[in-house]
Each structure stands twice: as C-alpha cells, then as structure tokens.
Structure 1
Amino acid sequence: MPSAVYPSFVFTVALLVITTYFLLGGLPLLVLKHDEPLDARFVRSFFNLYYKVAFWAALGAALSYGLWGQFAFAFGAAALATVTVALRRRFLPTMLQLGSQIESNTDGAVQRFRRVHGLALLVNLAQLVVLVWGTIQLSRSF
C-alpha cells in the first residue's frame, strides 16, 4: 500500500469534518433576523472561512489521491475544490451586496440574503452527500 494512502484518508476525513461542521454551524445562523449589518457580515465571514478551508482540504485530497493512483477520486476532489472556488466567487459578493442593502434598509434585502444563505447551506449539504458517497465507494475498493 503506497504511503499516499494516509494523507488521502486524512484529507478525506478533514473534508467530511469541515463540511459537516460548517453545515451544522450554518443552520442555526438562519435563525438570525439578518436585519442588522453585523449579521450579514458574520454570515459572510463564516462562509468565507468555510470556502477557504474546504478548498485547501479538497486540493490536498486531490493531490494525495493522485499520488496514490486513485485518479477518479483525485478528479472528484479536484472538482470539489473547483466548485468551492466558484461558490466563493458567486456567493460572497452577493452576500456583501445584500449586506449593504440591508444596511441601507432596502426592501426585500433581508429575504434575499436569507435565500442566498439557505442556498449556500443546500449546496454544502450536497457536497456532504457527495463526500459520504465517495467515501463509501472508496471503502468498497478495498
């Protein structure tokens, strides 16, 4: 068994823990009224941290799976890293814009922010499902 198997497992567990933690941590934030600019800034920084950490964990998983010779899993982890970058580029500017609209009391801004927040959590859930499915597939290969 090549030595790259160990970092692959470490990065996979890290991705599972990170994704689960931020999903479970983001759900209670939906309780916030989001009517204060501080709420929007906090939620935005919460997702910003998630996207950064998830990117590096997925990149590490992709590299270690590639070194192990598990190219399908390397491709999957690289796809997760790419999706994370795309989500970060899509959601964070939208949250920033809606946060400034909340600050200026624009009608409907709070509802739009809550929708973006909920959508980000749904995508996070989808990522977690893919990670669990991939982990099950990996366990079957042994």
Structure 2
Amino acid sequence: MKKSIALIVASTLFLQNCKDDCYTVPEPTVFEFVNSSGENLIQNGVLTSSNIVVQQDNGNGNFAGINVEVRDDKKILLKNVGLFDGTRNYNVYLTSDPIRTFNFKISSNQLTGDCDGYEINELTIENIPSSADNGYYKIVVD
C-alpha cells in the first residue's frame, strides 16, 4: 500500500514538472539601427547601448524600463518583451545628437496546449522608417 501511494505521488509530481520543463519563450525582439546608406549605427559608433532607451508604457504616465543588450552582430536585443497576453506599447529614445524617438507595439498571446509560454503575433513600429528583415527589424535613423 505504501509503495502504491509513493508511486501515485511520484507520478503526480512528474506530470506537474513536465509542464514546467515545457515553456516556450517568444521569438527574440531584435532591432538593427542603420542610416539611409545601410550602415549599422552601433558598428560605426554613432549609437551605443547607453544612447538607446526603451520604455514600456504602462498607462497613466507610468513607464517601465526595458533592458537592451548589444549583440555581437551589433544589433540590439530587447529583453523580456512579449511575455504577456494582449497588446503593449513601447517608446524608444535614441539620445544621440539629435535625439530621435519612435514607438512600437507588440501584440502577443499565451500559448494553449501542453506547454506554457507566449508568442508574439505582431510587432508594429511607428513614426520611423523600418522593415522586417529575416528575424529582426531594420530601423532607418537619419
């Protein structure tokens, strides 16, 4: 009897942990900042990570900072965006001279089924020329 109870408890814990091991993160959100000639502005030194400020608009004048990581390919990775169900708005400030700003919004949803996680359905960039390019967004800053 004790072995049966132990087996049931172990099976229950195993099944609960399976879902914990099955988590899908959204595709990474990556931006490349270029000039109109296509030159990467981080690679040529016009922008640095300290010149790029990204904020999530939480409404009512409240904002939360988004961590930005410059990757080896001189594109930036926005950390922990898309981990929600719904739509969120973001503001980007490029604090080099002259200061430039643009907005983007992300619509994402929670996955259903056996795995937990989120997927980004749409990312829309506003107020600046941009294009989706093979897993990242190219943003033209002039």
- TM-score normalised to the size of structure 1? 0.24
- TM-score normalised to the size of structure 2? 0.24
Select the structure that is richer in strand: 2
- Between structure 1 and structure 2, the one with the greater Rg is 2
Select the structure that is richer in helix: 1
Higher relative contact order (CA closer than 8 Å, sequence separation 6+):
1
